[in-house]
Every structure is written in structure tokens, then in C-alpha cells.
């Protein structure tokens, strides 16, 4: 009889774990929707446009980065949290962050990286440096390594 009780307890743990996983997946799905929406994109774009010139690719961090980081968290994280509270009944950001740390390997790299910019200053700075490089035309250029070859051997104009 004791074996059956243990089995029931194990099944209960599995089913509650699955419910937690489903809730986590639902939150991640909502986050994906929110960050793809025009409102979030405009908020992030205008914020980066306003501040990207302040950032330099050096080991030292300027004191001016701190208020920019604080403002970024206030504006974008609060927007994200507000949207999640509206869409998911009983949503709690602190509880979600705990779950995120437990499931970080299961989250898409882009989503995780974006969420990391709210808590990790170096991820935040890297986001700005990448934005600045793109604005200045210093993005990754793979064109030198590309060779175009015809797959049609009968095409005389292609050779």
C-alpha cells in the first residue's frame, strides 16, 4: 500500500510540474508576442536611438551608463511587465524570474538575451554596442567570403 501512495505522490509532482511548465511556456509565448508588437519595438528603437552615441567599446564603463540603464529598465521592463499582468491572470514578475533561471536552457536565445538586458548590465551594454555598430555600418560583413556558382552546367551565360 505504501508503494501506491508513493506512486500517487510522484504522479502528483509530475502533473504539477507539467502545469508549471505549461504556465512558463505561456508566459514565454506572451513575451514573444509583446516584444514583436510595434509598441514595444518603437519604445526600444527610440530609446536606443536616443542613447546609442553615449556608448563606447572600451573596458571602462562611463558613469553616464548607469542612469541610462536604470531608465531602460524602468521604461521597457515596466512596459513588458504591465502587458504580462494584463494578459495573464495572477502574473508575478518575481515568480517568473525564478522560473526563468530554472528553465533558461529552454528559452529561445533571442528572448533570453532580451530579458537579460533588464538584469545584466554587460548584456545591456553589448546590445547598445551592436546597435551602434549597425548604425555606423560596422556590422558583420560576410560578402567577401561569398562565391556564386551556377548549378546548371548548360548555362553558357552563367560561366
Residue 56: predicted pLDDT: 93
- Tell me, what's the pLDDT at 21? 79
Question: What pLDDT score does 154 carry?
Answer: 57
**How confident is the model over 33-46, as a mean pLDDT?**
94
Per-residue pLDDT of 126-158, as tens digits, reads: 999 999 999 888 765 555 555 555 555 555 455
**Mean pLDDT, the chain, integer:** 81
Q: Per the structure block, which three cell numbers stand in for 113?
A: 538575451
Q: Which residue has the higher pLDDT, 35 or 7?
A: 35
Share of the chain above pLDDT 90, in %: 49
Given a cut of 70, is residue 81 above it in pLDDT? Answer: yes
Please give the Cα distance from 127 to 115 (Å, whole number): 12
Cα angle for residues 26, 119, 110 (degrees, 5° grid): 50
Q: Looking at the predicted structure, is the pLDDT value of residue 159 above 60?
A: no
The reported pLDDT for the residue numbered 40 is 94
Q: Which residue has the cell 495573464?
A: 88
- Mean pLDDT across 95-100: 85
Q: Which of 74, 73, 102, 82 is nearest to 30 (CA)?
A: 82
| Mean pLDDT of the 78-92 span | 94
Confidence of residue 17 (pLDDT cuts 50, 70, 90): low
In the structure, what pLDDT confidence band is assigned to residue 14 with cuts at 50, 70 and 90?
A: very low
Neighbours of 102 (CB within 10 A): 10
Cβ burial of 80 (10 Å; 0-12, 13-18, 19+) is: buried
Residues 9-21 have a mean pLDDT of 54
Amino acid at each position: 500500500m505504501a508503494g501506491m501512495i508513493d506512486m500517487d505522490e510522484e504522479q502528483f509532482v509530475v502533473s504539477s510540474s507539467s502545469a508549471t511548465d505549461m504556465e512558463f511556456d505561456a508566459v514565454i509565448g506572451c513575451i514573444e508576442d509583446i516584444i514583436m508588437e510595434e509598441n514595444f519595438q518603437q519604445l526600444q528603437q527610440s530609446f536606443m536611438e536616443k542613447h546609442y552615441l553615449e556608448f563606447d567599446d572600451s573596458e571602462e564603463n562611463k558613469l553616464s551608463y548607469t542612469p541610462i540603464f536604470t531608465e531602460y529598465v524602468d521604461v521597457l521592463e515596466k512596459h513588458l511587465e504591465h502587458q504580462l499582468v494584463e494578459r495573464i491572470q495572477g502574473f508575478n514578475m518575481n515568480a517568473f524570474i525564478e522560473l526563468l533561471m530554472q528553465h533558461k536552457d529552454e528559452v529561445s536565445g533571442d528572448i533570453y538575451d532580451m530579458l537579460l538586458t533588464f538584469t545584466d548590465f554587460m548584456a545591456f551594454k553589448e546590445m547598445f554596442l551592436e546597435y551602434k555598430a549597425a548604425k555606423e555600418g560596422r556590422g558583420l560583413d560576410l560578402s567577401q567570403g561569398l562565391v556564386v556558382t551556377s548549378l546548371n552546367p548548360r548555362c553558357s551565360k552563367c560561366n
